[in-house]
A and B are shown apart, each in its own frame.
Chain A
Amino acid sequence: MTRKQRRLTLIGSAGAVLAVALGLILFALNDQIVFFQSPTDITEKDIPAGQRIRLGGLVEEGSVVRSDNAEVSFRVTDMANAVAVTYKGILPDLFREGQGVVTEGIVGTDGVFVADSVLAKHDENYMPKEVAEALKDQGHWQGGEGEAN
């Protein structure tokens, strides 16, 4: 092989790998990302059943109902609208009524959100960022700017 051919092979294979990587990334970004929605978004936007989303807001006071096979249902609210959620599994330690929560899952045909993961805060001082902003959008945020993070 001449010097030129060697260089072309190198550049060619580098280009091929990068093209594949880029293709995968673009495809995955198109297909595999999950949008964050507030309960108001879900009520207003008419999200098709079966689509994966992240739903965030406050756990509505008095809405948590536990049934026997480790299932739990509750409502997530942004003070304007609320969405019913069901989840089977262990809730995070800091899951509380009236506190911020982010759940991920799909909207069922009956309008009930079936979550497969529930995230609460890592620490008493934090409110999930998305939740804080969603609440602000609805004009129900009472905390100061600093607490929002």
Chain B
Amino acid sequence: MIVELGHYALVLAFALTLVQCVLPLWGALSGDSRLMAVAPPISVTLFVLILISFVALTIAYLASDFSVLNVVQNSHSAKPLLYKFTGVWGNHEGSMLLWVLILVFFGALVGLFGGNLPQDLKAATLAVQSWVTGGFILFLLATSNPFARVPNPPLEGADLNPILQDIGLAIHPPLLYVGYVGFSITFSFAVAALILGRTDAAWARWVRPWTLLAWCFLTLGIAMGSYWAYYELGWGGWWFWDPVENASFMPWLAGTALLHSAIVMEKREALKVWTVLLAIFTFSLSLLGTFLVRSGVLTSVHAFATDPARGVFILGLLCFFIGGSLALYAWRAPMLKQGGLFAPISREGGLVLNNLFLTAACTAVFVGTLYPLALDAVTGEKISVGEPFFNLTFGPLMIPLLMAIPFGPILSWKRGDLLAACQRLYAAFGLALVFTLFTFWLWGMEKVLAPLGVGLAVWVMAGAVSEIVTRVKFFEIGPKRAFSRLVGLPGSAWGTALAHFGVGVTVLGIVTASAFQEERIETMRPGDTVEVDGYSVTFDGAVPRQGPNFTEEVGHFTVRQGGAFVTNMEPSKRVYTARQMPTTEAGIHTFGFSQLYLSLGESRGDGAVDVRVYFKPLITLIWIGCVIMSIGAVFSMADRRLRIGAPKPAAKRKSAQPAPAE
């Protein structure tokens, strides 16, 4: 009954999107405010309906209702409760329902908190958002109904893919989706602006906070996915340039560019046309990502099940939205008024440079991801494009960008003084040089590029610190008054500095973890010891253990340093009973920012087992940096001048400040 209710709510939501697609837009174009007023209540109703639908599916999962096909295929009564819950989106149908839920959630936010937007812009935006929503609900109903019943319910389900039975599934997809789908709202804003033929001050102010919100979640989602793959797959790698990873990375690159160009548009009224295009591109890349991951063109852990009809349907949606919005852009963009001149050396110029490199890097990732697919489709030739390709294309494009980061925030608007900026960065440059030479002295000619990488990372971090120091005039007015200025700094200044600092931290982690990692692969018998970076790891033997829905063989290891006990580690090999599928659980121990990583191979019967031991120096900085970037985004969102949808001074519009900005 509850399942049917969920299904019914989904159908009803689809019918409502049809209304929402037409009426508000018609109202916006004809100036009929009664028609436009329809949009906000419908956007909230849509959210409620999809929420009912989602809750219905969740109940079916929690109750292990094996009369529902989706539950049969992806759940098991012995599965721990948490995974029964997260299993709701651990499959194709459920994950698409989550996608739609977040889509309508963003629509409802605009509907509820967009009170101070011009009415026609708000109506048009909500209409465009429901075009996207309608398309995806139709996709669910037509090809991937999560509520389909089984005529003869089995007693037991097939269980969730064991790789997904992890806390990561509770965190990674929702974060990633809020990021991915969050860009839909900037897309809807951009398309609405094109339809109405104008971008006013309210438009410019709205785009940036929404982009920040989506970007913040996408950053966390990607970082979480990377860490999950790192500890769950047991390969010790944290990024594989896998097409599925690239699918989430491309919107991130485009979104980062959008974030920066939106600043120019908001402050200086320049780059409007470009920002609109970037907003369209960013969400298009999100859609492309969804297509790559969900259609089954790629074989991966993310492609749950493959059904050609689904691929074709998503491809259709993709063509409709990307083609439609780009055609609209070609037609309407010339109507948008350009403004704001600036010299090449200026804050604007710096932000343009950022956009150039980010879009170029995004293009490189795009080609690397899609070229093998295109080549296969056209010639049937099978190739793989892996790490070497991206190191050669993406890497060189990032280096000038990283070198330029500290300059950007220090240059002034309109016309900047490069010499003065350089003078302010002397300290940062000196520090970077010291670290480069120090790393070089430690490792010598053995690793030539790594010291430069370390120097670059320190340069970016120190640059972010000097920006704050410069802003509070630390050396001019003394520490006491500087401190009071520090507290009074606008949130966006903190945001910029934190996000840039986070980039430096991540780069440092990447450089040290890849250049100075130590790896041993050995066949070990009980009593054997391996030495890695000063730690000796002793294998004490393996014992079987019984889990709720798996059995495992746990390897006991003792780690000592200079004879002194450090820790015990317990990597294991599991076999999940329902699917008879083996998985590897890595053993990880964190020392400061570095990690020792143990992964087991197949056991050889006589007590011997293949063991892979890594020492990964400073590897956690990779993810810590991402978290710092997201915190930066939160600071920026909290900036009172940027509160979502506040075209007038914030003090007068207290009532219009929505939750996500806080």
Contacts and interface: CB of A to CB of B under 8 A. Distances in A.
A24 B368 CA distance: 11
Nearest to A90: B601
B344 interface: yes
B393 A10 contact: no
B397 A21 contact: yes
A117 B431 CA distance: 39
A90 B299 contact: no
Interface stretch (A42-50, A75-83, A106-114, A125-133): A125-133
Interface in B279-300: 296, 299-300
A32 B306 CA distance: 30
Interface in B154-169: 161, 163
A126 B521 contact: no
Q: How large is the interface on A (under 10, 10 to 19, 20 to 34, 35 or more residues)?
A: 35 or more
A32 B383 contact: no
Nearest to A12: B344
B581 interface: yes
B334 interface: no
Given A32-B388, A36-B384, A94-B582, A69 B523 contact: yes
Interface stretch (B76-84, B359-367, B481-489, B533-541): B359-367
Interface string A55-95: 00000000000101110000000000000000011110110
Interface in B351-399: 352-353, 356-357, 360-361, 363-364, 367-368, 371-372, 381-386, 388-389, 392-393, 396-397
A21 B521 contact: no
B32 interface: no
A130 B234 contact: no
B610 interface: yes
Contacts of A130: 382
- What does DSSP make chain A's interface, helix, strand, loop or mixed? mixed
A28 B384 CA distance: 12
Scoring B360, B582, B611 by chain A CB atoms within 10 A of each residue's CB, the highest score goes to: B360
B434 to A, nearest CB: 30
Contacts of A125: 305
B34 interface: no
Nearest to B362: A21
B523 A122 contact: no
A28 B299 contact: no
B583 A93 contact: yes
Contacts of B600: 90
A51 interface: no
A88 to B, nearest CB: 6
Scoring A28, A35, A36, A54 by chain B CB atoms within 10 A of each residue's CB, the highest score goes to: A28
Interface string B35-76: 000000000000000000000000000000000000000000
A21 B360 contact: yes
B522 A70 contact: yes
A89 B301 contact: no
Nearest to B388: A32
B341 A3 contact: yes
Contacts of A6: 341-344
Given A90-B612, A94-B582, A24 B397 contact: yes
B361 to A, nearest CB: 8
B301 A33 contact: no
Interface in A1-52: 1, 3, 6, 9-10, 13-14, 17-18, 20-21, 24-25, 27-29, 31-36
A138 interface: no
A35 B602 contact: no
A76 B113 CA distance: 61
A28 B604 contact: no
The 5 closest A-B pairs by CB, nearest first: A36-B382, A21-B360, A90-B601, A32-B388, A28-B392
26 contacts: A3-B341, A6-B341, A6-B343, A17-B357, A21-B393, A24-B392, A24-B397, A25-B364, A33-B384, A35-B381, A35-B382, A35-B383, A68-B608, A69-B521, A69-B523, A70-B601, A70-B610, A89-B601, A89-B612, A90-B234, A90-B599, A93-B234, A94-B581, A122-B299, A126-B299, A149-B306
Interface of B: 161, 163, 234, 296, 299-301, 305-306, 341-344, 352-353, 356-357, 360-361, 363-364, 367-368, 371-372, 381-386, 388-389, 392-393, 396-397, 521-523, 573, 579-584, 599-602, 604, 608, 610-612
Given A91-B601, A91-B602, 19 more contacts: A6-B342, A10-B344, A13-B353, A21-B363, A25-B364, A29-B385, A31-B392, A35-B383, A54-B382, A89-B612, A90-B599, A93-B581, A93-B583, A122-B300, A122-B301, A124-B581, A129-B299, A133-B382, A149-B296
